[in-house]
Structures are given as structure tokens and as C-alpha cells.
Amino acid sequence: ADLFEYRRYEVPMVTEWFEKKDGEGLLIIFDGWDELSEQLRQSSLAASIIHRKQLDQCSVIVTSRSYASSSLLKMGTLTKHVQVIGFSKEEISIVIIQTIQKDKKLAQELIDHNTTWNGYKSHFTTTQSSKDSQLAVKLINDLKVRNDVQSLCYIPLVCSMVILVYCKEGGHLPTTLTQLYENFILQTIRRHVKRHDINPHILGSLSFLPSQLAKPLQEMCQTAYTSLANTTMTFSSHQLQSLSEAVKEDYLGLMTTFTEYDEDKYQFLHLIIQEFLAAWWIAKHEKKTEEVFKDHFDDDHFRMCLRFVAGLTHLEHESYQQYFNKQQLDLQCKRKPLFGFETCHLSYFFQNPEIKSHDHISPDDFDNGSQSSSSTPV
């Protein structure tokens, strides 16, 4: 019965029926395994069901970021592991062309022009006079030079962000992942204020927003941080009442709403947006930044957030460096401008090192028409 959010008279009868049949015929989907704390991943109702200690005849689907799936991959009852790989290099080029060039005919001509019998040309060209086509070709070629950025574009959200930021910044790529997300959030706020008859061009940086927008952003960053610490990803209207300034500004366009059991619920546009805003709070508003950084260093929920903190502070505090050195970690941001994801020359997407002999779907399976469901690689 604990699985049911909506309480009503029939629930005890339904749960009793499932328990008698040990879950036979029941499909349970646990979405966001990585959002649970390490303790709950080891011992909770969800863990008991996944490990077949309860309702052992039911079918279970678990979605998770790769870093949190190691314990699941070691299970003897695992029947299938699906790793969603996102866009291929060729698909990234197609998405860029079809997004920037709105004319479908010109877009297809551009794709055909750069297609050879064994794939796409190594260097894209165009004879079209359309500025959109020329910009699309320039972005594709720029990404070939900037493999660090290109390797992130397999994620649809990141790909769309790169395209948006590139177009808005006059054909320039961000040099770090932190800059990419900072610019994306700035563009989102610009798009929001444009609807409220505010000139978006006066917004030059997140650090120098007018007070009308700075206060709502600060409220949202604090909420992002506290809720991330409490592993809260969705909010009710009541929970957001304290964000008086953010409510007035419709959450700056950084939140989306949905209805659940006749109640309005809110969440950030994406978990990684929440993680960036939490990092902004730690880096810009938290007085004990270093202490917070260290307190959450071993917390999986703050893995991405702390990478953003490192990027926002440029690891300027010596104690950050000392702490990483003590942990014997090789920060990618110390080796390359763009950090956040390890890239591999042979593999275009993140491979979990735990995946060895398990039955999992490979990229070749997609060519054979296999269907996949859901793991969000980060």
C-alpha cells in the first residue's frame, strides 16, 4: 500500500490481491534510482522489490543515471540492461541543420549535399546563400574541432542548448560546460522577460541581473540547493509559497508545471538545471562555500552540482585543490577546458565500467530495430 500515493477505499483490496499473487502480472517502474540516497538504495521498499525480497513475481523497470546503477548490474536477477546512447555524430549534424534551417527543403538539400555513399563528409560545405544554412554548417565544423563539446551533444537537452547558445552568441561555442549552462539559463530568462515587455538585451550576465530578477533567481537557487540536499525534485504550490519574488516572475521560466491527482506540481526544467542553480547558490551566496563543498563531496546527489561549483569558482580556493589531491582524483577541468564528462576516442557515449558480461543492448542493436527504455546518461 505504501506504493500508492493516492489513498482511497479500494487500495487495501488491490494491494492484498497483489500480495497474495506475489506481484504476478504487476509492472512497477522506479524512475530515478539515482535520486535515492545511498542508504535507501541499500534498504527501502523499492530496494526490497527490486531485489525480489517482496512481490518476487512482478516485473520491475528501473531508470537511473549510470553512476548509481552499479549495484543493480551485480544482481543475479537482472534480465536486461539498456543504455540509452542518445544522438550519434551523424544525428547531431542532422539535428543542427533541421533546428537552425527552418526551411525543410533547404535543410534536406544541405543534408544530401554533405552525404556520401559511406556517411557524411568530414568537412561540411554549402553553396546555399541562406545565412541559416551557413550558420548550421559553421557549427557542425566547429564541433569537429571542439570534440570536448561535441561529445556532450549526444544528450538531446545539451545538443539543443549548444545550438541555442551558439546562435544567440553570434556563432561562438562556450569554452566550459559551466559557461554553457550559465548561458542557457540566461537565455531562458531573456526569453521569459521578453514576454513581459522587458528588453532582454539589458541582461548581460546572471551575476548582474536587475534587482527585479536577481531576487527571484536567488530564491530559486536556494530552493534548488536545499531541495537537492533533501532529494526533493517536485514541489507543490504550498512548498513554493515562500518564494514570493519568484512566484511574481513565474519562476523566470526555469520551472515547469504538471497536474498530479488534481494538484498542481512544479519541477525545474531538468534535474541538471536544478543542479546548476544549486551550484550557483553554493558559489555565489553560501558564506561557507568550502565547507559545503567538502560536506557534500561524497554525496552522489551532488556529483554534478559540485562540478559546477568547481567551474564557477575556477577552483580558486586552495583547499579545494588540496581536498581533491587528498582524494587522489584527477579533475578533468585541470586537464581540459571542458569538464563534466569523460570522453573516449573509441566510444561516443559513457560506458559504465561495471558493464562486462551482462545482457545489455549495444549500439548495433539499434540498427536491428531494437527498442530501448530509459537511462539518462550523465
User: With 70 as the cut, is the pLDDT of residue 350 above it?
Assistant: no
Q: Is residue 254 very low, low, confident or very high in pLDDT (cuts 50, 70, 90)?
A: very high
Mean pLDDT of 357-374: 37
Each as own residue / partner, the long-range contacts of residues 159-163 (CB below 8 Å, 24 or more positions apart, any chain) are 159/87, 159/92, 159/95, 159/96, 160/99, 163/95, 163/96, 163/99, 163/100, 163/139
Closest CA to 280 of 229, 216, 221: 221
Task: Tell which wins on pLDDT, 315 or 299.
Answer: 299
Question: What tens digit of pLDDT does each residue of 367-378 get?
Answer: 333 333 333 333
- The pLDDT, as a whole number, for residue 332 is 44
Mean pLDDT of 305-312: 89
User: With 90 as the cut, is the pLDDT of residue 54 above it?
Assistant: no
Q: Is residue 329 very low, low, confident or very high in pLDDT (cuts 50, 70, 90)?
A: very low
Question: What tens digit of pLDDT does each residue of 108-121 get?
Answer: 999 999 988 777 88
Residue 256: beta bridge partners? 267
Mean pLDDT of 4-14: 63
Q: How many CB atoms lie within 10 A of CB 281?
A: 25
- Pairing label, strands 263-268, 255-260: antiparallel
Task: Tell which wins on pLDDT, 94 or 34.
Answer: 94
Give how far the C-alpha of residue 71 lies from the chain's centroid of Cα atoms, to the nearest Å. Answer: 21
User: With 80 as the cut, is the pLDDT of residue 4 above it?
Assistant: no
Query: Which 3 state secondary structure label does DSSP give 235?
Result: strand
Q: Is residue 287 very low, low, confident or very high in pLDDT (cuts 50, 70, 90)?
A: confident
User: With 50 as the cut, is the pLDDT of residue 27 above it?
Assistant: yes
Each as own residue / partner, the long-range contacts of residues 73-77 (CB below 8 Å, 24 or more positions apart, any chain) are 73/352, 73/354, 73/355, 73/358, 74/354, 75/50, 75/51, 77/51, 77/52
Q: Is residue 126 very low, low, confident or very high in pLDDT (cuts 50, 70, 90)?
A: very high
Q: What percent of the chain has pLDDT over 90?
A: 28
Task: Tell which wins on pLDDT, 138 or 232.
Answer: 138
Burial class (CB in 10 A: 0-12, 13-18, 19+), 152: buried
Q: Is residue 221 very low, low, confident or very high in pLDDT (cuts 50, 70, 90)?
A: very high
Q: Is residue 222 very low, low, confident or very high in pLDDT (cuts 50, 70, 90)?
A: very high
Mean pLDDT of 191-206: 83
